[in-house]
Amino acid sequence: MGSVEAPLAVPDPAREAVLEWYARAGRRLSFRATADPYAVLVSEAMAQQTQAARAGEAWTRFLDAFPTVAALAAASPADVLRAWRGLGYNRRATNLWRAARTIVANHDGRVPSGIQALEALPGVGPYTARAVAAIAFGIPVGAVDTNVRRVIGRITAGDPAALDRATLQSLADAAVPVGRSADWTHAVMDLGATVCTPGRPDCAGCPVRSWCRYAAQVGERAAAPTAREPRPPRTPFPATTRWLRGRIVDRLRMTAGDGWSVIEAPIGAHDAAAVRVALDGLAGEGLVELDRTSQPGRLLARLPVA
């Protein structure tokens, strides 16, 4: 990791420019219309590793099914997994369900506002805790995901890799404008997702170009195409374990109630041995239940009911 001496803070005019840009060009996503802590927690769980627009559509349906923390905590994991269909990374659904149960048990059914208490919830890490604190409770903390790290790191140091985690978090916290923590959180995320992108940032169209060390170092070349190393061929998605796990869970979603389903192999290009390994992994993570009393060679599974 490189280093910089005395990295600059994000100057006040740059913060104002970001907020003005967001008011004009920010993405209009359904979940940004609320500061309800539970709704914000759900949206942040969904937005992890999922396109924001798709998460917004699913968020509305999910809250229709589980409008409160108590409703989610009282549901079966099977119902939660069915409502999560289409979002992928199904462990996020069961973690959110566990978080709701923890909130009911330990916080009287109200999402806590403190960073430490939020990070203690299942599936909630440093980024999600700070996003909920900033958006739902107005606490001036920086929620640092990949996009935010890139924006803050480029503005203050010219390169995010020049800053260690603690320094970057401190800079992100200090950048939050007083009374605008929710808008700022959304604005910096959008700037990183749409303008300050990894490979070909649009420095010419960036609202903070005048204050950005990265733009000062590379000028217009930052937006110019560069030669790239050839990438090794990627494994086709249907050949991956992730695809197989998703197909298994999708099959089980189609089973009504608490009934068992026979999981027959092959599934796609995955043979019986691969299906068994995938089922064992899903069961170990609490995403499916297996009937281990069934006859040898017959795989029975269902979504977890408790």
Q: Would you state the pLDDT for residue 1?
A: 47
Residue 170 lies in domain: 12-223
Active-site residue, 44 included = yes
Residue 282: CATH number of its domain? 1.10.10
Q: What is the pTM of this model?
A: 0.85
Q: What residues does 300 pair with on adjacent strands?
A: 262
The number of CA neighbours under 13 Å toward the Cβ of 95 is 20
pLDDT per position as a tens digit, 155-213: 999 999 999 999 999 999 999 999 999 999 999 999 999 999 998 899 999 999 999 99
Pairwise CA distance, residues 171 & 211, whole Å? 15
Question: How many domains does one find in the chain?
Answer: 2
In a domain, 148, yes or no: yes
54 and 172 fall within a common domain = yes
Is pLDDT of 113 > 70?
yes
Write down the catalytic residue from 44, 119, 264, 289.
44
Residues 6 or more apart from 87 whose CB is under 8 A from it?
46, 50, 54, 55, 58, 93
Residue 156: CATH number of its domain? 1.10.340.30
In a domain, 229, yes or no: no
pLDDT per position as a tens digit, 73-107: 999 999 999 999 989 889 999 999 999 999 999 99
Is pLDDT of 266 > 70?
yes
